[in-house]
Amino acid sequence: MNVMSSKKSPLTWAVHISVVALVALWLFPTVGLFVSSFRTADQIANTGWWNALFTQERQAPAIRISGDEAEIDGEFVIDGRLFSNDDVNISHWGTSSREPEAYVPGDVADLGDGTALTVAQDGAFRLSAPQSFGDSRLPRVFTTATMPPEFTFENYRFVLFDPSNREGMAKAFFNTLTVTIPATIIPIVIAAFAAYALAWMRFPGRSLLVAAIVGLLVVPLQLALIPLLRFHNEIGIGKGYLGVWLAHTGFGLPLAIYLLRNYMVGLPRDIIENARVDGATDFQIFVKIILPLSFPALASFAIFQFLWTWNDLLVALVFLIDATGETTVMTKQIVELLGTRGGNWEILATSAFVSIAVPLAVFFAMQRYLVRGLLAGSVK
Amino acid sequence: MHPALQGLITIIIGVGGCVGYFYFSNQFLDRVLYPATGKNAGRNINRANQIRPWLFLAPALLALGLYLAYPVFATLWLSVTDRNAGGAFVGLANYRQMFDEPKFWEAVSNNMLWLIIVPAFSTAFGLLAAQLTDRIKWGNIAKSLIFMPMAISFVGAAVIWKLVYDTRPAGQDQIGVLNAVWLVFDGGPMSVLILKIVPPLILVVFAGFLAYSVIQIARSLLRGGFSHSATPWWGLVLRAGLALVAVWLVWVSLRSVVSLATVSLPYGEPQTWLTIPFWNSILLMVVLVWIQTGFAMVILSAALRGVPEETIEAAVIDGANPFQIFFKIKVPQIMGTIVVVWTTITIVVLKVFDIVFAMTNGQWETQVLANYMYDKLFRANDWGVGSASAMIIMLLVTPILVWNVINARKEMR
């Protein structure tokens, strides 16, 4: 026994370490995006997000001095602080972009005409001159400072609630929601009835239909784009919500019927036979017995369909979004941002995280059903 | 009307309409058409029960037929007609035009690479994660974290990974992890070890493993192919095909060993990863592997738990080590599930569009079939060639489709 345990323990350790490494590797990219969405544009552009949690020394962008002047002993003085943060530690500063590290804290810089500027280590500055500053432009200060980690909700406010932001996600968020909810509920209703018929009613051609549905499971929806768009245009739906709801319903049905039928077949035969003997019609059996019992399968499919419609880009591009862009969904909006704001990571990261947050919440809340659905849905 | 309100009304009309349809059509059948009363009661009940399944199935069949079955044939028809000539039949002209385009062959060869690499690595990582997490206490937490990318959209994943692959000019701090790691290598002995010695070793081992399996397959073909007919003909064809793919992979890996040995790596220079041909395709595949591994892990973990305990105990008593138990006892028993996972991921790969569309849009030689098709259909407005490329995707899916249907029918019996 001793030999066993001493042999076993290094292997157990190796397993633990490998799993930690694997999980870290899998989480790392998402965490990067999440952390970035809480950093300022300037921070993201200058340092990697993995530095965000540490105090870091870097050159801050130029800050133009501002404040009200006061007359003290015949001199005009502006006092103030460069940073709102107290924990700043300035190592060098300067007044021109050519020499951003000309002075150390405490030095007095002569800016000509008797104007003098001094900056202390914690960012307090004092600008003085023999005459009033009036409307003249005040000097800029370049600083090299170590700063504590700093996080902000400003990105989220800008992306979600700023009415002046024309590329905001608020409208796209509601559009996505508008696409998703009907596109999740309607196929469930249609598929549940069909699945009941395929599972518990006897009629010629039943097994052939089941086989056909298994076949349709893998038909790429790419084939459907042009014929259906043409069809929608012919019957007058055109591009719009109705079209995208119908398309998602059609594309989701094979999986829905397949999942629900497999589940319903496994329900105990006795209950259904007894109900039949007691004179219940098929419709009553379905509504009162089958539907409540099938809740796990219904939930599984609902999660699948919700994730799929929420995350979808192609179907929305083809069937929903017209030239006005009024009905844009979040995935499309993000692709647009990737083109126009490719370097503005604070906006990209925040927008992406807004669109990811809802599916992630659903995922963690209802993971059990998702796993069950996956296990039942992969064709064996 | 506000879209949210419109959506609400649609839910009510859609759901209410469906339920109403089912309810009233049943009522109509039972009360009006074939009432279960009078002298024909028995016959009427039978008749009603013959019609009822079709009432239940009608909306689903209509939607399936219109949205999935009909488009297959419509696309087939579009691919042999010319839109500009008023939809006149042009035979295989669209296909011929497509086959003449280098961009198409680029998409096909990239897709082939995707089809091999993504399912292989997703399944391998999934199997590894499943096996490892099943043995530890906090395995379920680890599982759900690895599984998490499944919930993230391809577009969201594209943004996440674009940040990883981001490039800043030389001299500035890199904000992309990949470049930050890359700049750690400076051409010293450690860099040579990690970049020049380890990868070729892995590749050589990989090629050796493949060559060994090719020899095994060739032997079994030569021996079993002629003497007795235990395996059906398509099994032989499948094995021969696998062997050919393996031979091709051996050739590819040996060639990359040579090119790795001869190339001089640009140490210390930040790279714009997504513009380097070939490697950018690999980096896009990494995104899909990252997403699909969780799926493979969940399915395979359930399969691993289903492996009978006795077989493992017997192996332990016979003195097998953990690796032997895993590769010789467990893996053979879950081979069926591995094939299912592999084919499911294959189908995802064939349809992959969003990742390429969002990250490179097929530039820098990263084109794949689904994005090529989108390009043709909606940018070039060439329905003929677009439909032809859609048919190619359908053609690639068909073997899996047939296989699934055969298996499903076997199970029903």
Span B381-395, mean pLDDT?
86
Q: Which residues of A touch B53 (CB under 8 A)?
A: 197, 201-203, 206
Contacts of A361 (CB under 8 A, 6+ apart): none
The three-class DSSP label of residue B362 is coil
Q: Which residues of A touch B132 (CB under 8 A)?
A: 15, 18-19, 22
pLDDT tier, B234 (very low <50, low <70, confident <90, very high otherwise): low
* B211 to chain A, closest Cα gap in Å: 29
A37 close to A349: Cβ distance less than 8 angstroms: yes
B59–A190 C-beta distance less than 8 A: yes
B162–A201 C-beta distance less than 8 A: no
A198–B57 C-beta distance less than 8 A: yes
The three-class DSSP label of residue A64 is strand
The number of beta carbons lying within 10 Å of the beta carbon of residue A336 is 15
Fold of A159-377: MetI-like fold (1.10.3720)
Predicted local distance difference test score (pLDDT) of residue B276: 79
In angstroms, the Cα distances linking A9 to A12, A14, A29, B309, B327 are: 5, 9, 32, 22, 21
Residue B148 has pLDDT above 50, yes or no: yes
Q: Which residues of A touch B140 (CB under 8 A)?
A: none
- Which B residues 98-157 touch A at CB under 8 Å? 125, 128-129, 132-133, 135-136, 139, 142, 144-156
Give helix B279-305 / helix B154-164 axis angle, nearest 10°.
Answer: 120
* A310 to chain B, closest Cα gap in Å: 8
Over its C-alpha atoms, chain A yields an Rg (Å, rounded) of: 32
Task: Dump pLDDT digits (tens) for B6-33.
Answer: 767 877 887 888 888 888 887 887 777 7
Q: Which residues of A touch B386 (CB under 8 A)?
A: 226
A367–B74 C-beta distance less than 8 A: no
Predicted local distance difference test score (pLDDT) of residue B232: 64
Q: Which residue has the tokens 């999660």?
A: A303
The number of beta carbons lying within 10 Å of the beta carbon of residue B154 is 23
Spatial CA neighbour of B103 closest among B366, B285, B407, B410: B366
Q: What percent of chain B has pLDDT over 70?
A: 94
Rounded to 5 degrees, φ, ψ at A126 are: -140, 115
For residues A287 and B268, which has the higher predicted lDDT (pLDDT)? A287
Spatial CA neighbour of B407 closest among A197, A296, A218: A218
Contacts of B259 (CB under 8 A, 6+ apart): none
Residue B174 contacts A where some CB pair is shorter than 8 Å: yes
Predicted local distance difference test score (pLDDT) of residue A6: 44
Helix, strand and coil content of chain A, in percent to the nearest 5, comes to: 60, 15, 30
A194–B405 C-beta distance less than 8 A: no
CB pairs under 8 A between A and B: 333
Span A171-190, mean pLDDT?
86
Supply A377's token pair.
């849905």
Residue B229 has pLDDT above 60, yes or no: no
Task: Dump pLDDT digits (tens) for B28-47.
Answer: 877 777 776 667 777 777 77
B155–A335 C-beta distance less than 8 A: yes
The closest CB to that of B390, out of A49, A216, A223, belongs to A223
Residue B4 has pLDDT above 70, yes or no: no
Task: Dump pLDDT digits (tens) for B322-335.
Answer: 778 888 888 888 88
Residue A2 has pLDDT above 50, yes or no: no
Which residue of chain A has the CA closest to B27? A283
Least confident of A293-307, B178-192, B373-387: B178-192
B377–A226 C-beta distance less than 8 A: yes
Span A300-315, mean pLDDT?
88
ipTM exceeding 0.85?
no
Q: Where are the alpha helices (DSSP H) in B28-152?
A: 41-64, 70-79, 93-99, 102-133, 139-147
Contacts of A224 (CB under 8 A, 6+ apart): A247, A250, A251, B67, B68, B71, B75
Residue A5 has pLDDT above 50, yes or no: no
A310–B74 C-beta distance less than 8 A: no
Which residue of chain A has the CA closest to B51? A203
pTM of the predicted model as reported, rounded to 2 decimal places: 0.81
Q: Which residues of B touch A338 (CB under 8 A)?
A: 158-159, 162, 358
Spatial CA neighbour of B396 closest among B112, B101, B91, B102: B112
B142–A245 C-beta distance less than 8 A: no
For testing contact with chain A, the best of B160, B166, B335 (most A CBs within 10 A): B160
Predicted local distance difference test score (pLDDT) of residue B290: 92
B371 close to B361: Cβ distance less than 8 angstroms: yes
The closest CB to that of B401, out of A203, A215, A360, belongs to A215
Supply B400's token pair.
């899996």
* B140 to chain A, closest Cα gap in Å: 11
User: b or e along A84-106 (b: 16 or more beta carbons within 10 Å of the residue's beta carbon)?
Assistant: eeeebebebbbbeeeebeebebe
Spatial CA neighbour of B1 closest among A313, A242, A85: A242
A253–B156 C-beta distance less than 8 A: no
Which residue of chain B has the CA closest to A212? B405
Residue B274 contacts A where some CB pair is shorter than 8 Å: no
Domain boundaries, chain A: 2-36, 55-148, 159-377
Residue B325 contacts A where some CB pair is shorter than 8 Å: no
Largest CA distance in chain A: 106
Residue B2 has pLDDT above 70, yes or no: no
Task: Dump pLDDT digits (tens) for A139-174.
Answer: 778 777 777 777 778 778 777 777 777 777 888 888
Supply B296's token pair.
């493979």
Contacts of B228 (CB under 8 A, 6+ apart): none
User: Residue length, chain A?
Assistant: 380
